């Protein structure tokens, strides 16, 4: 059992939780205008764990045949025969139950919205089959993190949570476009839609740059919240600098640093901004 779980967690890249989780945590602190109740924060983390695991499990299941045709993904657990579809299905059900159960422990609105959140994150795995804008939908799916965390603390959907969610949408859209540049040939072979395949790698990177500029615009919009101030403003400037650095690493004729740009730089952005928000909110 433990060996199978280890394979699953490796397959779904549990370390990539650093993308959505920091925005959920910073949203919780903004909603509470300080330190949220530890119980609430704990259930938010459990819910995030369940949501991401179920989303990734669903993705691996529905994409198993596509992954087998892509050299970059052919060694994933299902196409490589390391796990069965039934084993992944059990993990999917348990992870979904974990999200719903944690939401129930938070408040009624969080509980009622939990199936909606699951439907949103599951649907992403289908979008690449029919729309070139699947990257934006992925951002929309991960934007459920800050909005959901605000609901967990305040039992409401606020303008600030939607602005922070919009920042996540355009952040994820940008770096997913960059990452998808690695799969242009595989997407063409499997007749999948993506911005790099549709517009070419060079134009796709320019589009990604534009979406990241929009991320900064929406992050600046969070300054409207009374609990943030100078530290947060400095953090947004730092994020802008990291995004410029990320784009400097990736060229249309040199994609060798895409993985570093994808994980390392964006990981620093998420964790760094979270730390700045927490410090700013508590400082005030």
CA separation, residue 193 to residues 113, 146, 171, 268 (Å): 29, 28, 20, 29
What is the mean predicted confidence (pLDDT) over 147-161? Answer: 97
Q: Are 247 and 208 in contact (CB under 8 A)?
A: yes
Beta-carbon count within 10 A of 260 CB: 12
**Domains contained in the chain, number:** 1
Note the pLDDT tens digit of each residue in 84-132: 999 999 999 999 999 999 999 999 999 999 999 999 999 999 999 999 9
User: How does pLDDT run across 250-265, given as a tens digit for each residue?
Assistant: 999 999 999 888 888 9
Structural domain that includes position 122: 2-283
Residue 86's domain is classified under what CATH number? 1.10.357.140
Residue 108 class from Cβ within 10 Å (0-12 exposed, 13-18 middle, 19+ buried)? exposed
pLDDT at 13 over 90: no
Residue with token string 């087998």: 68
CA nearest to 79, candidates 87, 67, 89: 67
Q: What is the pLDDT of residue 284?
A: 61
| N residues, the chain | 284
């Amino acid at each position: 059992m433990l060996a199978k779980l280890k394979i699953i967690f490796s397959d779904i890249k549990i370390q990539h939780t650093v993308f959505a989780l920091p925005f959920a945590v910073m949203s919780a602190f903004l909603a509470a205008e300080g330190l949220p109740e530890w119980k609430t924060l704990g259930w938010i983390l459990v819910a995030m764990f369940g949501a991401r695991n179920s989303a990734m499990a669903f993705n691996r299941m529905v994409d198993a045949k596509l992954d087998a045709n892509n050299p970059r993904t052919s060694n994933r657990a299902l196409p490589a025969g390391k796990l069965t579809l039934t084993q992944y299905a059990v993990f999917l059900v348990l992870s979904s139950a974990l999200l719903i159960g944690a939401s129930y422990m938070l408040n009624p609105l969080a509980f009622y919205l939990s199936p909606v959140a699951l439907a949103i994150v599951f649907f992403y795995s289908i979008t690449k089959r029919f729309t070139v804008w699947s990257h934006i939908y992925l951002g929309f799916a991960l934007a459920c993190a800050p909005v959901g965390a605000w609901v967990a603390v305040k039992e409401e959907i606020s303008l600030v949570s939607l602005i922070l969610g919009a920042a996540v949408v355009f952040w994820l859209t940008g770096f997913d476009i960059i990452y998808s540049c690695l799969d242009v040939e595989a997407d063409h072979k499997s007749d999948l839609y993506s911005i790099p395949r549709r517009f070419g790698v060079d134009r796709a990177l320019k589009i990604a740059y534009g979406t990241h500029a929009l991320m900064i615009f929406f992050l600046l919009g969070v300054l409207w919240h009374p609990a943030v101030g100078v530290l947060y403003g400095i953090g947004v400037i730092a994020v802008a600098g990291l995004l410029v650095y990320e784009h400097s690493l990736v060229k249309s004729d040199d994609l060798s640093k895409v993985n570093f740009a994808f994980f390392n730089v964006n990981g620093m952005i998420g964790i760094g901004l979270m730390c700045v928000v927490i410090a700013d909110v508590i400082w005030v």
